[in-house]
Amino acid sequence: MRLSRKEHIADNFGAAAPRYEEAALLQKQVAANLSKHLPALEGGADILEIGCGTGLMTRYLLRRYPRAHLHVTDISPSMLAAARENITSASVKWGILDGENPPANLPAYDLIISSMVFQWFEDIDGALEKLGKHLKPTGAILFALPGPHSGAQWQSILQELGYPSGLLEFTAPPGIIAEEIIKRPYAGAHAFLTHMKDLGAHEPKASYRPLNPGHLRTAMRRFDRQGYKDVDWHILYGALKKEEIIKA
Residues forming the site for ligand SAM (CB under 6 A): 9-10, 13, 24, 27, 31, 50-53, 56-57, 74-76, 79, 97-100, 115-117, 120-121, 201
20-25 own/partner pairs: CB under 8 Å, 24+ apart = 20/53, 20/54, 20/79, 20/82, 20/198, 20/199, 20/200, 21/54, 21/56, 22/198, 23/195, 23/198, 23/199, 24/53, 24/54, 24/56, 24/199, 25/184
186, 192 contact by CB (below 8 A):
yes
Least distance to ligand SAM from the beta carbon of 248, Å?
A: 28
| Residues 6 or more apart in contact with residue 141 via CB below 8 angstroms | 111, 112, 113, 114, 128, 131, 132, 135, 175, 238, 239, 240, 245
Instruction: Pick the closer one to ligand SAM by CB: 115 or 150.
Output: 115
Give the residue closest to ligand SAM by C-beta: 53
Q: Which is nearer to ligand SAM, 199 or 219 (CB)?
A: 199
| Shortest Å distance, C-beta 100 to ligand SAM | 5
Q: Report in angstroms how near the CB of residue 47 gets to ligand SAM at its nearest.
A: 14
Minimum CB–partner distance for residue 48 and ligand SAM (Å): 11
Closer CB to ligand SAM, 197 or 221, in the complex: 197
By beta-carbon proximity to ligand SAM, the closer residue of 133 and 221 is 133
CB of 191 to ligand SAM, least distance (A): 18
